[in-house]
């Protein structure tokens, strides 16, 4: 008996506050997602035949298009990326190399709506390319709405990402292999076949899976560049069914198919493993000892050159078309100021929530896996799963559930701020956790025993130990989450209204009312702010790692 | 080795202490008279560090009892035990100065009384760190960092000092200085010292008793001098190698 009591005392004391924080974070995320599912389920049960009828040809076409665009986007992003990465890696030091790699990091820092507008400003019917000499008759250019536009934007986002990930893969090749290839006088083709391709092949499933995942859940790009019912993905169809048709039965059918697709993708991706990707700007490539042949070199220059133009041009177009806006008038509009203030407030709140939840997950996972108690160690996966649940249940799906649950327009706009803040926080969590976990785990492994011995606990521990050690990485995560949230056009597209609008929502509504110059001007400002914040986040992170 | 026994420091007793999570089952029975300088030696993975962790409260046994004199400490949290432990490295908080690291030994909220502050400076002086109070760990040498950790253990005035290979990263000269320092401090305080080491030289210089841990249990225990005699058996002789074995 005495022994039993002792064990209970032991377990009670050792269930520390970090596990409790993790349980709270899990509960919060579960409530957010659970509420959405409750909304969907209640509505589906109320109208079973309607939900059943919604599985029609339209849904089939939308699902097929979703898969098709994601598959093609992946292919078109990855295939050139292999050869661009190879060409960049062949020259470990050339002037502008690090600038090029930094340029390739920019797309990920830009909000999707800004990129969509940039692509339109460049390739659209009134786009900058119509001014090129080849376009004698601009009216013959049919523009890029539809599959073409979606693919261009997705490749713009994901090709540079794939290049960077594949360069990381190449950097894992041992230096001795390059020395050996030079010593044995291997040709470029042999080097590719025997050294480069095996490194790529190991990384490709993960990279392709990640890109596919990003494309199948892409919302703002498809919403703006899809341009009609023929080019609609599940995500956008969910939005339309709720926002325009108010047809919850269809929304439920669409969300269930979307969840099935994302679940399948995530399960597939977890089997292959996600690629390691961090925010470093320079990718160290081993020294190369053999020079590529003339043909190889020329091809490389052409490839890298066109990739650079492809990535840089939409950004340039965003800037050029942005400057056509009448900023003086825009700055005089209360709506612009209100949207800016709302955006900043939502983004800041969302970043606070995101950082707090992420810390909860990270520290609980650490605590559970280090508890020394097998039963508790086995629960560590819950904190991982909680953090990445948002991958399976995309923001629009969560939004759709709560939208149906809210029912009336009044309640929808009441719920809007809460939901936008919560969903954006959860959306940024996988990134924040990736920034926080290494720093947290290092600090915990160094300090846990010391703190336990010296009785540094609770607020003292936070004030004296964790905050000084972690503040930079917390700032990195916070700024990153804030930038991501600031540029997001997801849940707000569903919940926004004249009374609650953020900058991305304002841009969307200006586009809807054909005030393209306004939209371009605001997009330039939004893009610049998000880019600067992402750069700041990366810069704080780099200072931290020194 | 009776002359080192300190009536103020209670005996440390591990009685049928069992531990098994994530490793081979271990079982320790050990009695350490107060004031002893006990070396713990044995092959890697044999359970030396686990033994210290069990005493310090970083691991909890699956069964058995640990006593400090008449007080059972088996289930106490680390800070409530009469123990200070010094690790191989990471004994200091990297963002805090030497004196701040010492102060944390007595004031976990970093609000020391004037007496505590004076005491912190005094122990740093005693460990040979006078003038280096305001340096960050990165600005100290490896030996100096371990001295700060010893200073903090001193200011906590716990009767048991546990050290897990505290000199593993130090060169031979520094190592000797540290052993001298510890011998001197032990002469002043007469506390019980338990230290894990692979080096016969450490045992020769500092210990008055030793235990040999092998496969999760104490395979041999005796006066330090015995380690270098041929009474210890083949296992220990093999561990020590030809130079020290007889």
* A32-56 average pLDDT score: 84
Assess whether A118 and A224 both reside in one domain.
Answer: yes
Share of chain B above pLDDT 90, in %: 62
Assess whether A311 and A359 both reside in one domain.
Answer: no
> What stretches of chain B show up as alpha helix (H) in DSSP?
48-56, 98-103, 114-126, 142-156, 172-189, 200-206, 234-240
* B29-43 average pLDDT score: 94
- Residue B243's pLDDT is 63
> What stretches of B57-138 show up as alpha helix (H) in DSSP?
98-103, 114-126
Chain A environment of B84 (Cβ under 8 Å): 453
Assess whether A252 and A331 both reside in one domain.
Answer: no
Nearest to A453 among B21, B56, B63 (CB): B56
Among A288, A323, A358, which residue terminates a domain?
Answer: A323
Tell which wins on pLDDT, B212 or A372: B212
* B160-176 average pLDDT score: 89
Chain A environment of B64 (Cβ under 8 Å): none
Among A323, A344, A366, which residue terminates a domain?
Answer: A323
Alpha-carbon Rg for chain A, nearest whole angstrom, is 25
Assess whether A347 and A249 both reside in one domain.
Answer: no
d(CA A364, CA A354): 15
CA distances from A229 to A58, A62, A65, A141, A146 (A): 10, 9, 11, 21, 9
Nearest to B109 among A9, A446, A460 (CB): A460
Cβ contact A452–B79 (<8 Å): yes
Distance from CA of B90 to the nearest CA of A (A): 6
Assess whether A425 and A440 both reside in one domain.
Answer: yes
A95-120: per-residue pLDDT in tens?
888 899 999 999 988 999 999 999 99
User: Tokens 């305080």 label which residue?
Assistant: B189
> What stretches of A172-293 show up as alpha helix (H) in DSSP?
175-183, 188-191, 197-216, 220-225, 234-243, 248-272
Name the phi and psi angles at B38, rounded to 5.
-105, 125
Cβ contact A446–B79 (<8 Å): no
d(CA A33, CA A41): 12
Assess whether A377 and A459 both reside in one domain.
Answer: yes
Chain B environment of A444 (Cβ under 8 Å): none
Is the distance from CB of A41 to CB of A33 less than 8 angstroms? no
Among chain A residues, CA nearest to B81: A453
Chain B environment of A11 (Cβ under 8 Å): none
B121-149: per-residue pLDDT in tens?
999 999 999 999 999 999 999 899 999 99
User: Tokens 């995101």 label which residue?
Assistant: A354
pTM of the model: 0.84
Chain B environment of A372 (Cβ under 8 Å): 21-22, 59-60
Cβ contact A449–B110 (<8 Å): no
Chain A environment of B21 (Cβ under 8 Å): 372-374
| Continuous segment of H or E residues that includes residue B38 | strand B37-41
Chain B environment of A465 (Cβ under 8 Å): 93
- Residue A334's pLDDT is 93
Cβ contact B79–A372 (<8 Å): no
ipTM over 0.90: no
d(CA A415, CA A492): 11
Nearest to A449 among B58, B60, B105 (CB): B58
- Residue A362's pLDDT is 92
Q: Which of A245-259, A283-297, B182-196 has the lowest mean pLDDT?
A: A283-297
Cβ contact B94–A453 (<8 Å): no
Number of domains in chain A: 2
- Cα angle vertex A89, ends A87, A92, to 5°? 120
For the record, the structure tokens of A457 come out as 């606990």
Assess whether A342 and A328 both reside in one domain.
Answer: yes
B193-239: per-residue pLDDT in tens?
999 998 888 998 999 999 999 989 999 898 988 887 777 777 787 88
Which contacts qualify for A119-122: CB closer than 8 Å, 24 or more apart?
Answer: A119/A144, A119/A149, A119/A152, A119/A153, A119/A156, A119/A225, A119/A314, A119/A317, A120/A144, A120/A149, A120/A224, A120/A225, A121/A314, A121/A317, A121/A318, A121/A320, A121/A321, A121/A520, A122/A313, A122/A314, A122/A316, A122/A317
A484-498: per-residue pLDDT in tens?
999 999 999 999 988
Among chain A residues, CA nearest to B19: A372
Q: Which of A173-187, A333-347, A510-524, B189-203 has the lowest mean pLDDT?
A: A173-187
Chain A environment of B77 (Cβ under 8 Å): 13, 452
Confidence of residue A286 (pLDDT cuts 50, 70, 90): low
* CATH code at position A266: 1.10.3720.10
| Nearest of B145, B125, B143 to residue B135 by alpha carbon | B145
Tell which wins on pLDDT, B7 or A296: A296
d(CA A84, CA A87): 5
> Is A365 a residue whose pLDDT tops 50?
yes
Tell which wins on pLDDT, B127 or B4: B127
For the record, the structure tokens of A266 come out as 């995530």
Assess whether A195 and A98 both reside in one domain.
Answer: yes
d(CA B177, CA A132): 79
> Is B2 a residue whose pLDDT tops 50?
no
Among A269, A298, A323, which residue terminates a domain?
Answer: A323
Cβ contact B108–A456 (<8 Å): yes
Name the phi and psi angles at A246, rounded to 5.
30, 70
- Residue A6's pLDDT is 43
Chain A environment of B75 (Cβ under 8 Å): 6, 9-10
Confidence of residue A269 (pLDDT cuts 50, 70, 90): confident
Cβ contact B109–A6 (<8 Å): no
Cβ contact A469–B95 (<8 Å): yes
Average pLDDT in chain A: 87
Assess whether A282 and A335 both reside in one domain.
Answer: no
> Is A279 a residue whose pLDDT tops 50?
no
Assess whether A165 and A207 both reside in one domain.
Answer: yes
Cβ contact A453–B84 (<8 Å): yes
Which of B26, B79, B80, B136 to mutate: most A Cβ within 10 Å? B79
Maximum pairwise Cα distance, chain A: 93
Task: Write the DSSP symbol of residue A316.
Answer: H
User: Cβ-count burial of A521 within 10 angstroms (0-12 exposed, 13-18 middle, 19+ buried)?
Assistant: buried
Distance from CA of A364 to the nearest CA of B (A): 18
Among chain A residues, CA nearest to B75: A10
Chain B environment of A469 (Cβ under 8 Å): 93-95
Share of chain A above pLDDT 70, in %: 93
* A229-250 average pLDDT score: 89
Share of chain B above pLDDT 70, in %: 94
Name the phi and psi angles at B147, rounded to 5.
-65, -40
Residue A503: half-sphere exposure toward Cβ, Cα within 13 Å: 30
Q: Which B-chain residues 143-202 have CB contacts (< 8 A) with chain A? A: none
Assess whether A259 and A289 both reside in one domain.
Answer: yes
d(CA B81, CA B12): 12
Among chain A residues, CA nearest to B88: A446
- Residue A12's pLDDT is 39
B53-85: per-residue pLDDT in tens?
999 998 889 899 999 999 999 989 899 999 999
> Who contacts A495 (Cβ-Cβ below 8 Å, separation ≥6)?
A399, A403, A412, A413, A415, A416, A419, A420
Distance from CA of A444 to the nearest CA of B (A): 11
Chain A environment of B22 (Cβ under 8 Å): 372
B173-186: per-residue pLDDT in tens?
888 989 999 999 99
> Is B5 a residue whose pLDDT tops 50?
no
Nearest to B108 among A10, A446, A460 (CB): A460
A138-171: per-residue pLDDT in tens?
677 778 889 999 999 999 999 999 999 999 888 8
Assess whether A3 and A109 both reside in one domain.
Answer: no
Confidence of residue A13 (pLDDT cuts 50, 70, 90): very low
Which domain does A102 fall in, by range? 50-323
């Amino acid at each position: 008996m005495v022994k039993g009591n002792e064990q209970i005392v032991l377990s009670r004391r050792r269930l520390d506050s970090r596990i409790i924080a993790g349980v709270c974070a899990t509960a919060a995320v579960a409530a957010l997602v659970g509420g959405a599912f409750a909304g969907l389920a209640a509505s589906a049960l109320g109208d079973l035949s309607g939900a059943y009828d919604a599985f029609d040809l339209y849904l089939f076409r939308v699902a097929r298009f979703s898969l098709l665009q994601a598959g093609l986007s992946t292919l078109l992003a990855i295939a050139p990326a292999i050869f661009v990465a190879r060409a960049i890696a062949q020259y470990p030091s050339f002037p502008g190399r690090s600038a090029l790699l930094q340029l390739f990091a920019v797309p990920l820092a830009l909000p999707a709506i800004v990129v969509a507008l940039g692509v339109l400003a460049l390739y659209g019917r009134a786009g900058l390319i119509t001014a090129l000499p080849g376009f004698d008759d601009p009216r013959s250019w049919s523009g890029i709405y539809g599959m073409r536009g979606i693919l261009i934007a997705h490749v713009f986002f994901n090709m540079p990402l794939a290049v960077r990930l594949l360069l990381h893969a190449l950097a894992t090749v041992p230096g001795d292999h390059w020395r050996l290839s030079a010593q044995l006088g291997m040709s470029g083709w042999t080097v590719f076949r025997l050294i480069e391709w095996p490194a790529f092949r190991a990384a490709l499933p993960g990279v392709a899976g990640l890109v596919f995942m990003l494309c199948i859940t892409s919302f703002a790009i498809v919403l703006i560049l899809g341009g009609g019912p023929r080019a609609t993905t599940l995500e956008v169809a969910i939005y339309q069914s709720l926002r325009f048709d108010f047809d919850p039965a269809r929304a439920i059918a669409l969300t269930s198919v979307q969840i099935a697709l994302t679940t399948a993708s995530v399960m597939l991706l977890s089997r292959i493993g996600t690629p390691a990707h961090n925010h470093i700007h320079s990718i160290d490539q081993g020294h190369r000892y053999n020079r590529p042949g003339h043909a190889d070199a020329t091809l490389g220059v052409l490839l890298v050159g066109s990739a650079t133009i492809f990535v840089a041009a939409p950004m340039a177009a965003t800037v050029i078309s942005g400057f056509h806006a009448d900023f003086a008038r825009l700055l005089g509009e209360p709506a612009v100021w209100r949207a800016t203030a709302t955006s900043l407030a939502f983004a800041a709140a969302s970043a606070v929530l995101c950082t707090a939840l992420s810390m909860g997950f990270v520290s609980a996972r650490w605590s559970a896996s280090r508890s020394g108690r097998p039963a508790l160690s086995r629960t560590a996966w819950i904190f991982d799963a909680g953090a990445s649940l948002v991958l399976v249940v995309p923001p629009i799906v969560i939004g759709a559930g709560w939208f149906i649950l809210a029912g009336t327009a009044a309640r929808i706009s009441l719920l809007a701020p809460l939901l936008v803040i919560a969903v954006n926080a959860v959306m940024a969590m996988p990134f924040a956790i990736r920034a926080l976990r290494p720093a947290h785990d290092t600090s915990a492994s160094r300090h846990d025993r010391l703190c336990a011995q010296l009785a540094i606990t609770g607020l003292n521990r936070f004030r004296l130990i964790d905050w000084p050690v972690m503040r930079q990485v917390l700032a990195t995560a916070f700024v990153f989450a804030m930038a991501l949230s600031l540029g997001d056009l997801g849940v707000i597209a569903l919940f926004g209204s004249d009374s609650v609008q953020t900058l991305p929502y304002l841009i969307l509504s200006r586009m809807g009312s054909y005030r393209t110059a306004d939209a371009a001007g605001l997009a330039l400002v939004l893009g610049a702010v998000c880019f600067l914040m992402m750069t700041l986040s990366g810069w704080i992170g780099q200072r931290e790692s020194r | 080795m009776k002359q080192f026994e300190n009536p103020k420091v209670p005996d440390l007793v591990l009685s049928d202490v069992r531990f098994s999570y994530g490793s081979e089952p271990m079982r320790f029975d050990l009695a350490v008279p107060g004031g002893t300088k006990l070396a713990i030696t044995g092959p890697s993975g044999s359970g030396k560090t686990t033994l210290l962790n069990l005493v310090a409260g970083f691991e909890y046994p699956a069964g058995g009892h640990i006593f400090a004199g008449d007080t059972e400490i088996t289930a106490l949290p680390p800070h409530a035990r009469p123990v200070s432990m010094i690790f191989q490295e990471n004994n200091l908080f990297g963002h805090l100065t030497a004196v701040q690291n010492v102060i944390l030994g007595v004031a976990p909220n970093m609000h020391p009384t004037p007496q505590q502050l004076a005491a912190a400076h005094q122990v740093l002086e005693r460990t040979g760190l006078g003038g280096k109070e305001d340096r960050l760990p990165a600005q100290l040498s490896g030996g100096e960092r371990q001295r700060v950790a010893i200073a903090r253990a001193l200011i906590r005035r716990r009767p048991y000092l546990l050290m897990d290979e505290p000199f593993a990263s130090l060169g031979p000269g520094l190592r000797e200085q540290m052993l001298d320092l510890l011998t001197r401090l032990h002469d002043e305080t007469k506390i019980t010292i338990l230290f894990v080491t692979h080096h016969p030289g450490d045992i020769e210089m500092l210990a008055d008793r030793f235990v040999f841990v092998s496969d999760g249990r104490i395979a041999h225990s005796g006066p330090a001098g015995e380690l270098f005699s041929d009474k210890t058996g083949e296992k220990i002789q093999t561990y020590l190698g030809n130079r020290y074995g007889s």
